[in-house]
Structure 1
Amino acid sequence: MKPNSPWRISDFRALFAATSFGQLGTNIGYVAVPLIAVSALDASPGQVGALATLSTVAFLLIGLPAGAWMDRMRQRRVLIAADLARAGLFASIPLAWWLDALTLQQLYMVVLLHGCATVFADVGAQSVLPQLVGRADLVQANAAVNTLIAAGTVVGRGAGGGLVQLLTAPVAVASTAVSYLISAVRLTAIHRTAPPPPPAPGQAARLGPQIAEGLRHVFGNKELRALALTSACANLGSQILNTMLPVLFVRELGFPEGVLGLFWAAGGVGLLLGARCAGFFARHLGYGRALGLVGLYMAPAGLLVPLVDRGPWLWVAGAGWLLTMFKTGMTNVLGVSLRQRMTPTALLGRMNATFRFLLTGALAVGAAVAGVTGELAGVHTTLWVGGAFLATAFLPVLLSPVRKRRELPQQQEGPAVRIPAAESEV
């Protein structure tokens, strides 16, 4: 093991193991819940869109204050509580199924509350990682975590489709609950997390000014702003596609559930390859050129996904999805490392919450757009709208100073630089 490897740190290994089980559960549930809605509860495209919207709308509702709260709280305890809450919520679905009492309204409530818990889980995990490994090892640590997320997408979504097809959806959802429970247990092995910093002398820890400071940090920096806009557009496009794919595959094309799981798993392969290749592209092209040029060259792949149909077009669309997710996997590693290095420790929670507000908020908007467009214009038109967003998402980074950056910036450990609101370029 290399002396500067994050794997030498037991707390990082515990976080990685917990994330493994959490990602497995998340991705099985990602496949199983909409399939329950479509197959068992006869949900319409609009109702499927509402389900997907509610699963991510929590980031719009509480995403920003969650970052300020996380900067004040013991993050390990919050991560454990979030996983326990998610386990209980998903356990309620098979229980209601077996009692013949499951309704769409219950699914709506479960995904909404699950999204609230996920806000704290996601913001907390990204904020605690630099504390565990140090800023010098961030790229390696983020590459490992994003590789894991990609592998979880492959295994979890493939397994989710298979479990639904072979053992019914309630079994698949029950396995999600078990995965979250195991994740919570593994998180108890983390010990080295910093206590929340005390408020500055003479200053009360008021929520509004803290949130505003995080917003100014992100939107007042041209590079962070470009990273946020590019990722938000990519999430918007991918969510429009993902919301309609269960309706298209199961209802219109008549594919078994396992085929949808395998299609989504192909995207996970792309995420995996992108995460593993991120360091190579950064070393040979520079961090900024890698983010801009790979996005430019991969842009047409987003327009292949709406071609999905029976026969060879399924393979063409699958290849487009894989290439699109390759770009996403690489961006996740390099973009997250860049923004973590540009943010002081005291602002990590609010910076991550601002990004999650924008990125996951884009998922909520995308799901709503998909539901409305699917009802009014049909599934195939909706897919083309999503593909268009994916194909143009690279532009904010390509047109920003990010494209000129060859190395990560010097780490910022000191006090946050306060940008007056009047000087912000938002």
Structure 2
Amino acid sequence: MDTTNDSRRPGRRLGVLRQRDFRLLWLGETTSGLGASITTVALPLVAVVELRADTLAVGLLTAAVWLPWLVIGLPAGAWVDRVRRRPLLIACDVVSAALYASVPVAAWFDVLTLAQLLVVAVMCGVSAVFFDTAYHAYIPAVLDERDLLEGNAKLQGSEAATRVVGRGTAGLIAQAFGAVAGLLIDALTFVVSAVCLLMIRGREPAPSAPDTTATLRRRIGEGLRFVRHDPYLRPMVTYGAVLNMALMGYQAVQIVFLVRTVGVSEATVGALIMAGSIGGILGALLATAIGRRFGSARGMLVLQAVTSPFALLMPLATPGAGLLLFAVGAFMVGTGVAMCNVVVGSFRQRYCPPELLGRVVATTMMLNHSTIPLGSLLGGLLGDALGLRPTMWIMTGAVASCWLILALGPMRRRCDLPPAYGAEPVPVPERPLG
């Protein structure tokens, strides 16, 4: 009896988690994702509590994590396409573990400085660029093409869950054991991730032989041109960049909006923001079923059209029962974003030629991440100039309408996204499904 094929039947409760190599990959990524969520809160806490840093220093610390994407994102993609991904992933885990562990060690010896925190943030950001690029390119080496959608859905769902748990427990850890304890826990999660990757048995295909005459600039250009000229990737990347800018625009002022304009407590703020992460879990769970029922292209487009306008509920928040408007809006937006991430990630892994996948991943992630600091800055500027509620209206209005970028592309005419570059996708039937 072929137990391998049997374990991959969609009806099986565990699905792709029955496959040992994917289970190890999922366990390692979920564990390190939990640590990363803790660090999102713990790193600024270390700066504020241990070093008495001011607001500007904390802002620089946050920006330092994202800066490497803008500087080395494209070269990293070109380099990832020339090496095996699993050894690179393990090396990134080890480097990140050592960097984060250096912070509590320095604090215990009373030699921790803000400069060290900034160096750790930048270097871990560099490691994250290589890890995330290689990780998305490595998943097709662990899963068959038919399992990519389900596998990405499980990874996206666990990522959303770790955001809820990690950020919720970071404050408790800091209060009980000190702010630096969170970074030590994050270091340990990277060790777990490295061990899980080491235990994977499947052999990764060797990278294609590099063109020794191609310069780094030319290789980067190949990835950029592929994304720019492809009729499917171009609107997806544009949508992701605009959506990230709009999301970060309202998220930059949402806490101040809830506390000062709506008048809620800190504990209530945490619960309201958590609604978006809980919606992310639902979106990841729905992605596979919606893709199979309605088609990957039509399902994603319809879900974005349905969920995105709920963002307009958030500026309507008022004390009391009116807080449900914010929670529902955040929940629905989180659902749509997570489902979109699953479908786009799976499509990219199937669609792109293997020799270009690392560069395409790096190009799309760099372009999408480049608007994150821009959105935060725009939200802050509008908040000062126009006020908090008008800023929430402007930025959530952008979230509500940016799905039209996808609708203007070829997806509106297709049921499923093409399975591979150059393949003819399935058009949308003229009659709706019964």
Percent identity (aligned): 34
Structure 1 CA distance for aligned equivalents of residues 107 and 251 of structure 2: 25
- How many correspondences in the alignment? 410
Cα RMSD of the aligned pairs, angstroms, is 3.0
Q: Give the equivalent residue in structure 2 for 1:193.
A: 204
Q: Is the 8 A contact 2:82 2:210 kept in 1?
A: no
Matched, 1:365 2:370: no
Q: Which has the higher contact order (CA 8 A, sep 6+)?
A: 1
Q: Is the 8 A contact 1:155 1:265 kept in 2?
A: no
Matched, 1:133 2:143: yes
Give the stretch that moved more between structures: 217-226 or 184-193: 184-193
The letter for the 1-side match of 2:300 is: L
The partner residue of 1:171 within 159, 163, 181 is 181
Matched, 1:331 2:336: no
Distance 1:413 1:285, change over 3 A: closer
The letter for the 2-side match of 1:281 is: I
Q: Give the equivalent residue in structure 1 for 2:218.
A: 209
Matched residue SS, 1:304: helix
Q: Give the equivalent residue in structure 2 for 1:184.
A: 194
Q: Is the 8 A contact 2:347 2:419 kept in 1?
A: no
The 5-angstrom pairing of residues 30-179 of structure 1 reads 30-37=40-47, 41=52, 43-44=54-55, 47-99=57-109, 102-179=112-189
Q: Which runs of 5+ in 2 are unaligned?
A: 1-5, 10-14, 424-434
Distance 1:125 1:173, change over 3 A: same
The letter for the 2-side match of 1:331 is: C
CA shift, 1:227, in A, is 0.9
Distance 1:390 1:187, change over 3 A: same
What are the Cα deviations for residues 287-340 of structure 1, in whole angstroms up to 9, with x where unaligned? Answer: 222222221222222233345675444443222111111001110111112222
Give the stretch that moved more between structures: 378-387 or 288-297: 378-387
The 5-angstrom pairing of residues 299-318 of structure 1 reads 299-306=308-315, 311-318=320-327
Give the stretch that moved more between structures: 370-379 or 207-216: 370-379
Structure 2 CA distance for aligned equivalents of residues 303 and 101 of structure 1: 48
Structure 2 CA distance for aligned equivalents of residues 111 and 93 of structure 1: 11
Q: Is the 8 A contact 1:94 1:170 kept in 2?
A: yes
Q: Is the 8 A contact 1:303 1:391 kept in 2?
A: yes
The partner residue of 1:281 within 284, 290, 308 is 290
Q: Give the equivalent residue in structure 1 for 2:26.
A: 16
Distance 1:28 1:249, change over 3 A: farther
Distance 1:139 1:322, change over 3 A: same
Q: Give the equivalent residue in structure 2 for 1:419.
A: none
What are the Cα deviations for residues 350-396 of structure 1, in whole angstroms up to 9, with x where unaligned? Answer: 11111111122222333344455566666666545542332233121
CA shift, 1:235, in A, is 1.7
The 5-angstrom pairing of residues 212-227 of structure 1 reads 212-227=221-236
CA shift, 1:273, in A, is 0.4
Structure 1 CA distance for aligned equivalents of residues 394 and 102 of structure 2: 35
Give the stretch that moved more between structures: 204-213 or 260-269: 260-269
Q: Is the 8 A contact 2:382 2:391 kept in 1?
A: yes
Structure 1 CA distance for aligned equivalents of residues 304 and 400 of structure 2: 9
Q: Which runs of 5+ in 1 are unaligned?
A: 415-426
Matched, 1:406 2:425: no
Structure 2 CA distance for aligned equivalents of residues 73 and 397 of structure 1: 33
Matched residue SS, 2:199: coil
Q: Is the 8 A contact 2:298 2:416 kept in 1?
A: no
CA shift, 1:194, in A, is 2.0
Q: Is the 8 A contact 1:71 1:350 kept in 2?
A: yes
Structure 1 CA distance for aligned equivalents of residues 141 and 422 of structure 2: 11
Structure 1 CA distance for aligned equivalents of residues 383 and 106 of structure 2: 29
Q: Is the 8 A contact 1:52 1:367 kept in 2?
A: no
Distance 1:226 1:128, change over 3 A: same
Q: Is the 8 A contact 1:341 1:408 kept in 2?
A: no
TM-score normalised to structure 2 length: 0.84
Structure 1 CA distance for aligned equivalents of residues 249 and 207 of structure 2: 38
Distance 1:148 1:95, change over 3 A: same
The letter for the 2-side match of 1:10 is: R
Distance 1:95 1:388, change over 3 A: farther
Structure 2 CA distance for aligned equivalents of residues 309 and 165 of structure 1: 31
Give the stretch that moved more between structures: 284-293 or 114-123: 284-293
The letter for the 2-side match of 1:186 is: C
Distance 1:241 1:177, change over 3 A: farther
Matched, 1:346 2:351: no
Give the stretch that moved more between structures: 241-250 or 151-160: 241-250
